[in-house]
Amino acid sequence: MFEPIHNKNNYQYIVDQIKQLILDGELIVGDRLPSERDLSEMYQVSRASVREALKALETIGLLESRHGGGNYIVNHLKEQLTDNLSLVFVLDHCKLKDLTSLRYALELEIMRNIIRKNNPETKKQLQELLIEIENARSTKEIEQIDVKFHTLIASLADNPLLQYLQASIHSVYSTSIEFLNATYPSWDDVSLEESQAYQSEIIQALLSRNMETVQQALDKHYQYNPGINIDLLYENYASSKNNTPK
């Protein structure tokens, strides 16, 4: 299973081989890798090269080193996906509307699945959120309920790839909104009653199990204060940071 490596100075070959073993199904989550010494002999490389490869696999979320217990195959890729998405968002100069469009498309598909499955437990969770919205006493509480709602939507994706991607997008999106709230407190200045109405509408639409109504409510849910250009706020913020004297 573990083939000798002829380029003994390149730990990347070890990383690639172990990745391929995972893709081929020969290694699965929970499997323990041979010891560093055994891997060194199998691959015919130094233990330093093996150690470097194991560290790389741990960094990308495929391996977990347990003190005194060896190295095990794990799936911590969701955390890496979130980190990488955050970096792509910044380095590729993506706009918040780009992230919003992707999030919208994913949530629309997940909501379609929610309606199709008609799960009683999901219905109960949505009804509980409606009660929380009705009892909210501030827009801050509504914001917290909104986070709970989108977190619930992400968890209800019956496709694990959708679930991972939606959770990662939700994390990056939430960080962006937190920035706006902290930097521009009045960027989305609406009353408690308006916030309650917006939040309730989409949940009630889901409970009605009418996809057309759901899409209309989701469209409205993703519409921001028309007088505010969110991406311009980010550009102004970035410009002010760049112009700050060192």
Ordered DSSP codes for 155-202: HT-SSHHHHHHHHHHHHHHHHHHHHHHHH-TTTT---HHHHHHHHHHH
Same domain flag for 142 and 160: yes
In a domain, 4, yes or no: no
**Which residue in the block uniquely carries the two structure tokens 């959120």?**
129
Residue 245 has pLDDT above 60, yes or no: no
Q: Give me the number of domains the chain comprises.
A: 2
CB 63 within 8 A of CB 22: no
What pLDDT is recorded for position 55?
94
In a domain, 5, yes or no: no
Same domain flag for 143 and 163: yes
In a domain, 33, yes or no: yes
Domain span at residue 91 reads 79-242
- Tens digits of residue pLDDT in 204-225: 999 999 999 999 988 887 764 4
Mean predicted lDDT score pLDDT of the chain: 81
Same domain flag for 54 and 98: no
How many helices (H) and strands (E) in the chain?
11, 2
Same domain flag for 144 and 225: yes
- E-assigned strand segments in the chain: 63-66, 70-73
Same domain flag for 59 and 133: no
Q: How far is C-alpha 217 from the chain's CA centre? A: 23
What pLDDT is recorded for position 212?
93
What pLDDT is recorded for position 234?
52
Residue with more model confidence, 69 or 211: 211
Residue 19 sits in a domain whose CATH number is 1.10.10.10
Residue 93 sits in a domain whose CATH number is 1.20.120.530
In a domain, 2, yes or no: no
In a domain, 7, yes or no: no
In a domain, 187, yes or no: yes
Q: Give me the mean pLDDT over the 8-14 stretch.
A: 75
In a domain, 3, yes or no: no
- Tens digits of residue pLDDT in 168-185: 787 777 777 666 666 555
* Phi, psi values for residue 71, rounded to 5°: -115, 130
Name the pTM for this structure.
0.63
Between the CA of residue 18 and those of 3, 28, 29, 42, what are the distances in Å? 10, 11, 12, 12
Same domain flag for 71 and 84: no
What pLDDT is recorded for position 224?
47
User: CB count, 10 Å around CB of 143?
Assistant: 18
Residue 246 has pLDDT above 50, yes or no: no
In a domain, 6, yes or no: no
Name the domain boundary from 75, 96, 126. 75
| Contacts for 102 with CB less than 8 Å, ≥ 6 apart | 169
Same domain flag for 91 and 210: yes
DSSP 135-148: H--SHHHHHHHHHH
Name the domain boundary from 75, 96, 130. 75
User: CB count, 10 Å around CB of 4?
Assistant: 11
